[in-house]
Chain A
Amino acid sequence: MGIVIKVENLGKKYIISHQQERYTALRDVMANTAKKAIKKVTGKGETLPKKEEFWALRNISFEVNQGDRIGIIGRNGAGKSTLLKLLSRITEPTTGKIKIKGKISSLLEVGTGFHPELTGKENVFLNGAILGMSKKEILKKMDDIVEFSGVEKFLDTPVKRYSSGMYVRLAFAVAANLETEILLVDEVLAVGDAGFQKKCLGKMEDVSKKEGRTIFFVSHNMSMITSLCSRCILLENGSIVKDGMVSDVILYYYNEGLQSPAYIDFESRQREIGDDYACLLSGEVRNQNNLISTEINIDQSLKIIMKYRIKKQNGKIFRPNFHFFTSGGVYAFISSPENVELLPEGNYFAECNIPENFLNEGAYFVGLGLTSYEPGITVHFYEQNALSFNVRDPIEGIKTRKGYSGSIPGVVRPLLNWKIGGE
C-alpha cells in the first residue's frame, strides 16, 4: 500500500470567447486582424468580442492510496470530467501538479476508435491498442474478452451490423480486461442493459479488491457509487467541497441541495452541449401551476420542458427524449414524442407532461436528449441528470393511499382502473 496519486493545487482554466462560433476560423482571424489594422489607422471600428476566463477546476488537492475506489460526484459542470481528463493526461493543467505511480488507463467512453467497417475481432485489436494494450496482451486476453462480451458468433461480422447492445458489450469487454494499475471511468456504464451493467460493476469491483487496483469512477448514479466505491469526492464549481466516506458525502450532497436543479441554463454556462446540428439550451421542471419547482406533490401533474436549437438542417427529424431515473439510479422510463415534424433551423421547446398519481414518492433525475434516426442513429446531445425534482407524498388526502400510512415501495405508483365483483 502506498500513495499512487498525489494532486497538488490543480487548476484548469479555459478561455471562452463570446462568439457564437465554437471553432476559430481562419477567415475570422484574418477579418479581425484587418479590423484591428483599420482601427489603428482610423481610430474607429467596432470593438472585438471580449474573451473571458473560466476555471473548470481550481485548487484541487488530494492523495490516493493504492486500491482506493474513488467515486466522484457533483452536478453537471462541476468539473468531474475535467478532473478525469487531467488525470489521464488528455489535457494539460493550467496550475498545479499531478504525480502518478503506475500505468493509468482512462475509460471516458467505451469503444473509442471502433470502426464500423471492421469486424468485431479487428476492433478488439484496435481498441485494445488505443487503450494501451500490446498485441501480445490482447492475444492473451482474447478468450476472456470474447467470453465476457457474449458475441462469439459475430466476431467476424463488421460491427456496423451489430445491435447497439452488442456493440457496447464488446467494447466494454475490452476495457474490462485492461491490465492497468489505475483505471479512470466516466459514466460509461450508463449504457447497456441492467444485467450487463451489474456484470461490469462486479468485474470492476473484483479487480479492484483482488488485485489492489485503484479506480476513479464518475457517476450520477448514487447506488452504483455506493456499491462500488470506498471513498467519495464531491465537486462543486470546480472545487472539492467534501471528501470522505461514501455515505457521508452522498448525504451531504442531498442535504445541501447540490443535486441537479429544477432549472438549468446551458446557454449562459459557456459550455455548449450538442454537435454541429443541434444544441441544448435549457431545461426546466414546472409544477401544475406552471411555476418552476423541485417539489411536486404526488397528486399533482408536472411538466418537463427542454429548449434546444437546431443549427443545421439537412433533412433530419430531431426527436427529443427524456430519461427518468430514481435517486437510486434505477432507469424508470424514457419518453419521447410520437410524431415529430421536420423542423427548420431555429430555437424550439419540447414539453412533456407527467400526470398526477403516476410517479412514486422520492427524488427523480431527468436526462435530456435529442436524437435523429435517419440515416442511422445520431445522438446530438444527451445530458444525464440535467434536472431533478422531488415527488412528495403529504399522506393526507392521497387517493393511492386509502388510509395506509406506511412507506410504499416502487418506482411508480399509478392510479389504475380496477374492477371488483362477485361471481
Chain B
Amino acid sequence: MLKVKEKTSNSEDEGYIVIEAGKSEKHYWADLWRYRELFYFLSWRDILVRYKQTVIGIAWSVIRPLLTMLVFTIIFGRIAKLPSDNAPYPILVFTALLPWQFFSTALSDASSSLISNQNMISKIYFPRMIIPSSTIIVALTDFSISFILLAITMAIYRFVPNWKIVFIPLFLLLAIILSLGMGFLFSALNVKYRDFRYIIPFIVQFGMYISPVGFSSSIVPERWRFLYSINPMVGVIDGFRWAIIGKGVSLYWPGFILSIVLTFLIAIWGFWYFRKTEKTFADSI
C-alpha cells in the first residue's frame, strides 16, 4: 500500500499524515480497522446483489449442491461402488461438498474481485485487501444454506452426527485461511496478468477431482496418503468428515498436519504478494 506513516516523535510532522515513496508502512492495520465499515458494506452489497439479481438467486445455492451430490452419489456410490465410511453415501459426499463449494466460490469470487471493482480502485483510496476479503462473506452465506441442506439430508437418513461436530468451526477456519491466501495471490496476479483469469476455472475444476469430494480419502493407498495431502483441501475435507461422520473415520495425522502447514504457507505467500503489489494496482488496473 501507500507508504503512510504518522510520526509523533518529530515535532515538525506532528498530526500530519506523511505520504512518501519507499517507506515502510506502519499504519496499514489501523487503516484496515478504520475502513471496516466499507468491508461490511461491500459484503452486504455482494449478498444483496447475489440474491436479488436472479429469481433463482437462493434456489441456485440449493440446486447446485443438491445436483452435485446426486451425481457423485450415483457415479461413485452406485456405479463405482466405492466404500462410504459407514455413512449413507449422500452424507459422505455432502460433508465434503460443504467445504469444497465454500472454497471454490470464495476462490473464484475473490480472484476476480479486484478487476470487477476496478472503478473503485482507480478512483478512491482504501486498503485494497478489503475487496477480496469481503467476497468470503458471500461464500459463507452459501455455506450456511448448504449446511441447512446437510442437516435436512441427515434427518431424512436418520443419521445422528458425531459429537465432534463442535470442531467444525475450526476446519471452516482452515478453509477460510486457505481461500483468503489463494484469493489474495490470484486477485493480485489477475491485476498484473490479465489472462490469469483463464487459469482459475481450470484450477477449481481440476481441484474438485483431485480432492476427496466424491469419495473417501481412505481409498487412497496408505503409502500415497502423505503425498496426497499436499493438496491442503484434503486436510479440510477429511476434517469435516471426521467431525460429522465420526465413527469409523480416523484422521490421518501426518497428512492433516502437512495440510495445515501448507495452508499457512500459502496464506503468508498470498498476503505478502498482495501487499507487495497493492500499491501499483491503481496504475496497472
A contacts, CB < 8 Å to B: 6, 14, 23-27, 29, 85-86, 88-101, 106, 108-109, 112-113, 115, 117-118, 122, 125-126, 129-132, 134-135
Contacts and interface: CB of A to CB of B under 8 A. Distances in A.
B19 A97 contact: yes
Determine the interface band of chain B, counting residues with CB < 8 A from chain A: 35 or more
A122 B17 CA distance: 32
A170 to B, nearest CB: 16
Contacts of A109: 119, 123
Given A24-B193, A92-B21, A129-B38, A115 B45 contact: yes
Contacts, number: 115
A108 B19 contact: no
Nearest to A11: B21
B111 to A, nearest CB: 14
Given A92-B279, A108-B123, A118 B16 contact: no
Interface string B190-231: 001111100100000000000000000000000000000000
Given A100-B17, A101-B16, A106-B125, A112 B120 contact: yes
**4 shortest A-B CB distances, which residue pairs?**
A26-B193, A129-B41, A89-B125, A99-B16
Nearest to A6: B16
B134 to A, nearest CB: 11
A91 B283 contact: yes
Interface stretch (B48-56, B68-76, B138-146): B48-56
Q: Which of A6, A95, A132 has the most CB of B within 10 A?
A: A132
Contacts of A130: 38, 41, 120, 124, 126
A135 B282 contact: no
A226 B75 CA distance: 75
B15 interface: yes
Contacts of B18: 97-99
B122 interface: yes
Given A93-B20, A99-B13, A24 B192 contact: yes
Interface in B15-73: 15-21, 35, 37-38, 40-42, 44-45, 48-49, 52-53
A69 B129 CA distance: 33
B284 A23 contact: yes
A409 B147 CA distance: 74
Contacts of B19: 86, 89, 92-93, 97-100
Contacts of A29: 193
Contacts of A117: 48-49, 52-53
B154 interface: no
B96 interface: no
B240 to A, nearest CB: 34
Interface of B: 2-4, 13, 15-21, 35, 37-38, 40-42, 44-45, 48-49, 52-53, 117, 119-126, 192-196, 199, 279-280, 282-284
A92 B20 CA distance: 8
Contacts of B126: 130, 132
A85 to B, nearest CB: 7
Contacts of A129: 37-38, 40-42
A216 B4 CA distance: 21
13 contacts: A24-B193, A25-B194, A90-B123, A90-B125, A92-B21, A95-B21, A101-B15, A101-B16, A106-B124, A108-B123, A113-B117, A126-B42, A129-B37
A112 B196 contact: no
B45 A112 contact: no
Given A100-B16, A106-B123, A106-B125, A94 B192 contact: no
Contact of A122 (B2, B35, B48, B194): B48
A85 B195 contact: no
Nearest to B21: A93
Given A26-B195, A99-B17, A91 B123 contact: no
Contacts of B122: 90
Contacts of B3: 92
Contacts of B37: 129, 134-135
A90 B283 CA distance: 9
A390 B283 CA distance: 36
A24 to B, nearest CB: 6
A60 to B, nearest CB: 13
A38 B129 CA distance: 39
A96 B38 contact: no
A26 B121 CA distance: 22
Nearest to B13: A99
A203 B214 CA distance: 62
A89 B20 CA distance: 10
B222 to A, nearest CB: 39
B41 A126 contact: yes
B195 A27 contact: yes
B282 A85 contact: yes
Contact of A92 (B2, B35, B49): B2
Given A101-B17, A106-B125, A130-B124, A90 B119 contact: no
Nearest to A21: B194
